[in-house]
Amino acid sequence: MFKLTQTSSVHDYYVQFTTLANKVHGITSDALLDCFIGSLNPDLRRDVIAQAPTTLIHSVSLAKLYKDKYKSIVEPFNLGYIHKSHPTHTPQSLKTTNLPPL
């Protein structure tokens, strides 16, 4: 369990973590919380720690919230010149013409 790290979604990591945590006995809830947060990817870990969650569920919720935040920041840059509502729309500046180059 202590070697587990987040390599996919927060949800998948949480499922893996709780599966392992349910097999371990004698670990305090604080130790489980520290282990979960410590194994998040570095960007999420920094933001979750800043909020000082006191429960595992709270830390999972924060991690999902920040993951969605990062996802919404990255998506607009992937759109390029194509508008989402018109995937086949090509801007005028990208259309080919028969005019000589400038």
83-93 per-position pLDDT tens digit: 555 555 555 55
The whole-model pTM stands at 0.66
pLDDT digits (tens, 9 = 90+) for 3-61: 898 988 999 999 999 999 999 999 999 999 999 999 999 989 999 999 999 999 999 99
Residue 6 CB neighbour total at 10 angstroms:
20
Residue 72 CB neighbour total at 10 angstroms:
9
Q: Is the dihedral of CA 53, 55, 61, 67 positive or negative?
A: positive
Alpha helices in 1-102 (DSSP H): 10-21, 29-38, 42-50, 56-78
- Domain-by-domain residue ranges, the chain? 10-94
Residue 60 CB neighbour total at 10 angstroms:
21
* pLDDT confidence of residue 69: 78
Best CA proximity match to 63, nearest among 16, 20, 24, 12: 12
